[in-house]
Chains A and B, each alone.
Chain A
Amino acid sequence: MLRNADSALFKAKSAGRDGYALYTEELTAHAQQRVEIAFELRRALDQQELRIHYQPVHDLKTGRLVGVEALVRWAHPQRGLVSPAAFIPIASVPG
């Protein structure tokens, strides 16, 4: 029960200050998924599965490609290329 309460506390904290959250079974699944992704991400870093892609930036007046933005992509062995939004929030948890 304590673990479940902790999941709810985590959810409430993620939503900002002065909030509350009720425990649901989905929350446990969510917490488990976070743990799994964090674990896989650690492996990804060790196995060099993170790839950098570059998105072109153009000068609007001349049309020329003048710069690039470096964006990280995770080449997951099963799920394919995963976008940063899917794993960066998990990576932000210390540890």
Chain B
Amino acid sequence: MIAEIDARVMQQACEQMCQWQAAGVVLSFVAVNVSSRLFARRELYQQVARVLDATGLDPAYLELEVTESAVMDDPEVSLEQMHRLRELGVRLAIDDFGTGYSSLLRLKRLPLQKLKIDQGFVTGLPWDEDDAAIVRVIIALAQSMGMQVHAEGIEQVGQAGFLLEHDCDLGQGYWFGRPLPAEQLDWMCEPDIR
């Protein structure tokens, strides 16, 4: 059943992205979560290809988020799956980075474009020294491996400020905006972090 939900979300998100593009909204990506169950299936590749074909979305605008634990469950199968997905042209991101048991040796072999820092490390910023140290290390790791770095769960300007100061690329969280129906998003919103 979860695969059915995942499939619908992916299909609708891609359709929505096409509508935004047609309306002149400039976005770099629409991100969709892929459950560990779906990620473990060989058919995922065909499913993504079908959605891209049906909607006509340029694959470079679709980002698939996979949790760290789903990837590390069976690293060899994951590696193969990720390479197949990359051949389609979609972007790949690791969700909840820092919460699983990532092997850096395995991480370096994965064809990833982005690491998402789990909100559990963002909560304590900028005061908690451990959170601050971990976040700095994840940013440095992502950047030195040529990946984008994206922080989740930003609820206060101080957290956004710390992340900006340490060269984190992207931010998401209630401080920027809650999840909303497509028609309620405010494209002009540019919150001032400094």
Let me know if A95 is at the binding interface, CB within 8 A: yes
Let me know if A66 is at the binding interface, CB within 8 A: yes
Contact of A55 among B9, B169, B177 (CB under 8 A): B177
> Chain B's nearest CB lies how many Å from the CB of A45?
6
Of chain B, the residue at the smallest CB distance from A88 is: B2
Interface residues of B in 1-39 (CB under 8 A from A): 1-2, 4-5, 8-9, 12-13, 16, 27-33, 35, 37
Contact of A65 among B178, B189, B192 (CB under 8 A): B189
Asked whether, in the complex, the Cβ of A63 is within 8 Å of the Cβ of B1, the reply is no
CA distance A57 to B31 in the complex (A): 10
Asked whether, in the complex, the Cβ of A56 is within 8 Å of the Cβ of B190, the reply is no
Contact of B1 among A45, A51, A53 (CB under 8 A): A45
| Chain B residues within 8 Å of A45, by CB | 1, 4-5, 8
Asked whether, in the complex, the Cβ of B4 is within 8 Å of the Cβ of A58, the reply is no
| Chain B residues within 8 Å of A51, by CB | 181
Of chain B, the residue at the smallest CB distance from A52 is: B12
Let me know if B176 is at the binding interface, CB within 8 A: yes
CA distance A58 to B171 in the complex (A): 5
Count of chain B residues with a beta carbon within 8 Å of a chain A beta carbon: 44
CA distance A66 to B190 in the complex (A): 10
| Chain A residues within 8 Å of B145, by CB | none
| Chain A residues within 8 Å of B172, by CB | 55-58, 69
| Chain A residues within 8 Å of B29, by CB | 57, 66-68
CA distance A63 to B37 in the complex (A): 35
- Tell me which of B47-55, B79-87, B100-108, B160-168 binds A: B160-168
- Tell me which of A6-14, A25-33, A70-78 binds B: A70-78
Contact of B170 among A59, A92, A93 (CB under 8 A): A59
| Chain A residues within 8 Å of B187, by CB | 65
9 more contacts with CB within 8 A, not counting A66-B29, A66-B170, are: A50-B8, A52-B16, A53-B180, A54-B185, A60-B163, A60-B164, A65-B176, A67-B27, A67-B170
Enumerate 27 A-B pairs (CB-CB under 8 Å) in ascending A order. Answer: A51-B181, A52-B16, A52-B182, A54-B13, A54-B180, A56-B176, A57-B31, A57-B170, A57-B171, A57-B172, A58-B191, A60-B160, A60-B163, A60-B169, A60-B170, A61-B164, A61-B169, A65-B190, A67-B29, A68-B29, A68-B31, A69-B30, A69-B65, A69-B179, A71-B33, A88-B5, A92-B37
